Chains A and B, each alone.
Chain A
Amino acid sequence: MLVVAELLLQGLTEVLTPPNLMAITLGVVAGIVLGAFPGLDSTVGAALFIPVTYGMSATQALLLLAALYGGAVYAGQIPAILFRIPGASEAVVTTLDGYAMARKGQAGKALGVGLVTSLLGGLFGVTTLILLAPLLANVALRFGPAEYFALGVLGLTAIAGLSGRSITKAVISALIGLLLATVGIDPITGVARFTFGQSMLLSGVSFIPAVIGLFAVAEVFKQASRPQVVRALDETELRTGRRLRVELPSLGELRRMAGLIARSAVIGAWVGILPGVGATTAAIVGYSQAVRLSREPDKFGTGVPEGLAASETANNAAVGGAMVPLLALGIPGSATTAVMLGAFLMHGLKAGPLFLVQQERLAFTLFVGMGVATLLIFPFALLAVRPFVALLRIPYPMLAAGILAFSAVGARAMGDLYGILMMFCFAVLGYLLERYGFPVAPLVLGLVLGRIVETSLRRALIIAAYDPWMVVSRPITAVLLVLSVLSVAVPAWTRYRTRRAAEK
C-alpha cells in the first residue's frame, strides 16, 4: 500500500511539471471540442492527435491522449442534451433523458447533473484503474463467449424500460437493430451477408453515421414534416430562457441519487474493463439497470435526472475501466484505447503486463494524469457550454441547415462518402419509426449489442457442441441470464400489480 502511495506521489510530481500539465490541458480542451462535434468522438480524436504527439515525450503523448479520451466522452453529452445529437456514441443514451429535460425547460439542470455525474464517474473509473486493476482484470479474463452472450442479453433487456407505449414495437425496433448489425462480413465464417453486391456494406453499418441519422437528422426531418416550422429551439422547444446557466445539482439531489450513481460507476468501470465493449455499452447497461431498479421505471426517457446520471456516470467510469486491459494485458478495452495502442508503439512502448513492471513510474503518472484530467474537465466544461447554448437562439431553419451540414461532414469524417448516404438512410428510417410509434432507442441498443450477442452465442454453442444447456449453465452466464429474466419480469410484474390495484 505504501509503495502504491509513493508511486502515486511520484506520479503527481511528474504530472504537475509544466509540459505534462500543458499536454493534459490540451488533451482535455481538444477532447471537449471534438466530443461535442457530431461524428468526432474520442476514437477519431485519438486517431487525429496521434501524429500531433510525435514530437512529444512518451509521457506527454500518453497523458494528452488519455485526457482527450476523458474530455471527449464527457463532451458528447452537451449536444445530446441541447440538440438530441449525441456528440459521441457514448452519449446515445444521454439523449433520452437529457434532451427530454431540456425540452421541459431544464437544460441547465441537465447539463449540471451530467457534468457532476461525469466527474464522479470519471474519478471512480480512475480509482478503479489504480486500485482494482489486477483484480478486475482477472475476473474479465474468465469471460468466455457464453458470458459475453449473457452480458449482451442483459444489455438487451433494457428494451423493457425503453418500450414506451408498445413493447411489441420496441422489440421490433430492437430486432431491426440486431438485424442491421448482421450486415457485412460474418465474423465467424467470413461470408458476406445482406451486402447486395455493395462493397461499402462489407464492413457493416457504420455506427456513427447511423446514430447521427437516427437522432440528429431525423429530428430535422420531424420538424420539417410539421405544417408550422418552429422559429427557434429556445422559444418553442427548450424554453431555456435568455441566459442558460449550468445548474449544479444540490447535495440533497446527489444524496438521493447516491445509490444509482455508485451502481452506475461500478457497472461502467466493470463493462469498460471488458475488452472490446467500451463506454457506449457501459452507458446502456448502466441506464438499463437504473430503469429496472427504479420504483418508477416508466418515468425514464421522459426527462428525469436519474436517467442522465446513470448513463453519464457509467460512460465516464468506463474510460478508466477501458484502460485496465490496455495497460495490464495489452488488450484494448474500447475502440479509443485500440487507437491509443498505436501511440504506445510509436513511442517504443509495449502495453501489457510488462508495462506495469518495467514502466511503473510512467504507468502511475498516467493514472494520476487521468485523475487530474477528469478534474480539469469541470472548469473547461463550464466554459464550453455557453457557446453551445448561444446556438439555441438561432432561428430553427438556420440551425437545421447547420445541423445537416455538420452531421454530413461528421458522417464523412468517420469513413467515406457512403457514410453520408448511410446517415440520410437512417434519418428516413428514424423519422418513419418515430412517426408510427416505434421507439428508436431499442434499435440503437440492437445495433450496438448485435455483434457481441450473435458471435458470442454462436461461438459458445460451437464450443459446447451445440448443447444450449452447456452454454447457459456456466456459473457467470447463469447469474447474468437470471438477472436478465428478473430485469424483465420484475418491472412487468410491478406494472401488472399497479394496474390491478388501480382497477380495484
Chain B
Amino acid sequence: MLDGESFFSLALFLISVGLFWRTFSFETMAGYEVLGPGWWPRLLLAAMAVLSAGLFVGRLRWLRRGGERQEETVATGRLLGLTAACFGYAVLMPYLGFLVSTPLFLLAVLLLFGTPRGRVLALLPLGITVLLLVIFVKVLYISLPRGVGPFLYFSRLFY
C-alpha cells in the first residue's frame, strides 16, 4: 500500500516522463539541431525521473520492511476548503471585481479558520479590503480589477 510520500514520488516520476515526452513536440529550428529548445529540459527531466523513481523504489522497500508511515493528521476539510477559496478568488476576481471578491474571500478564510462570529467577522474583511484599496489604488496607482456588468458599476463608485 502506498503512503503519501511514495505517492508523491510516483507522481513526480510520471510528470517527469510525461513532460520529457512533451519536449519532443517543441518546434525545431534550423541551426539548433544539437542544442535546440528541448535539450536542457530533457536533461533536467531525465535526472528528475531517475531520482524520483529511486525515491519511490526506496520508499516502497522501506514500507515493505515494515517502516513507519509517519503521516501526520491533516485537517483535510479545512485545507481543501482553503484551496477552493483561494482558486475561487483568483478565478472570480475578474468578474466580481476586487471590491466584491476580496471581502467574500476573506470571510471564507475566517470561517474556515474558525473565527468566532461577531464584529470581527463582519468588519475585518471590509477593513482589509478598504486598506488595500487605499494603499494600492489611491496611493500607488495600481489598477485592481473592477469586474463586469453590475459589479463594474459598483466598483466605479469607489475607484
Answer whether residue B91 sits at the interface, using C-beta atoms and an 8 A cutoff: yes
| A142 at interface, CB cutoff 8 A | no
Q: Chain B residues with Cβ under 8 A from A189's Cβ? A: 27, 29, 32, 36-37
Contact across chains for B52 and A435 when beta carbons are under 8 A apart: no
Chain B residues with a Cβ under 8 A of chain A:
4-5, 8-9, 12, 19, 22-23, 26-27, 29, 32, 34-41, 44-45, 47-48, 51-52, 54-55, 73-75, 78-79, 82-83, 86-87, 89-91, 93-94, 98, 102, 105-106, 109-110, 112-115, 120, 124-125, 128-129, 132, 135-136, 140-142, 144-145
Q: Determine whether the beta carbon of B106 is less than 8 Å from that of A401.
A: yes
Chain B nearest CB from A200 CB (Å) reads: 12
Q: Are A424's CB and B86's CB within 8 A?
A: yes
* Closest B residue by C-beta to A180: B44
Q: A417-B90, A454-B40 are in contact. Are A193 and B125 (CB under 8 A)?
A: no
**CB-contact partner of A179 in B35, B41, B52, B109, under 8 A:** B41
B105-A172 in contact (CB<8A): no
Q: Given the known inter-chain contacts A191-B29, A397-B114, please indicate yes or no for A172 contacting B55, CB distance below 8 A.
A: yes
Smallest CB gap from A226: residue in B: B75
Check: A227 CB closer than 8 A to any chain B CB. yes
Find A398's partner among B41, B73, B86, B115 (CB 8 Å cutoff).
B115
Nearest-neighbor residue (CB-CB) of A196 within chain B? B22
List of B residues within 8 angstroms of A400 by Cβ: 109, 113
Q: Are A193 and B37 in contact (CB under 8 A)?
A: yes
B contact patch SS: helix
Q: A225-B79, A417-B94, A421-B91 are in contact. Are A188 and B32 (CB under 8 A)?
A: yes
Contacts of B120 in A (CB 8 A): 398
Number of interface residues of A (CB under 8 A): 58
**Please, which residues of chain B bring their CB within 8 A of the CB of A224?**
75, 78-79, 82, 112-113
**Whole-angstrom CA separation of A40 from B140 in the bound complex:** 10
Chain B residue, CB-CB nearest to A431: B79
Q: Is A205 an interface residue (CB 8 A)?
A: no
- A388-445 with Cβ < 8 A to chain B: 395-398, 400-402, 404-406, 408-409, 412-413, 417, 420-421, 424, 427-428, 432, 435-437
Contact bitstring A209-242, B, C-beta under 8 A = 1, else 0: 0000000010011001111010000000000000
Q: Which residues of A contact B140 (CB under 8 A)?
A: 40, 48, 413
Please name all residues of chain A whose beta carbon is closer than 8 Å to the beta carbon of B91 when the two chains form the complex.
421
B82 and chain A: residue at smallest CB distance: A224
Q: Is the CB of A175 within 8 A of B51?
A: yes
Q: Pick from B19, B79, B102: contact of A194, CB below 8 A.
A: B19
Task: Verify if A326 is at the interface (C-beta below 8 Å from B).
Answer: no
Indicate whether A413 sits within 8 Å of B75 (C-beta atoms), given known contacts A194-B41, A427-B86: no
Closest to B93 in A: A417
Bound-state Cα–Cα, A172 to B47, Å: 8
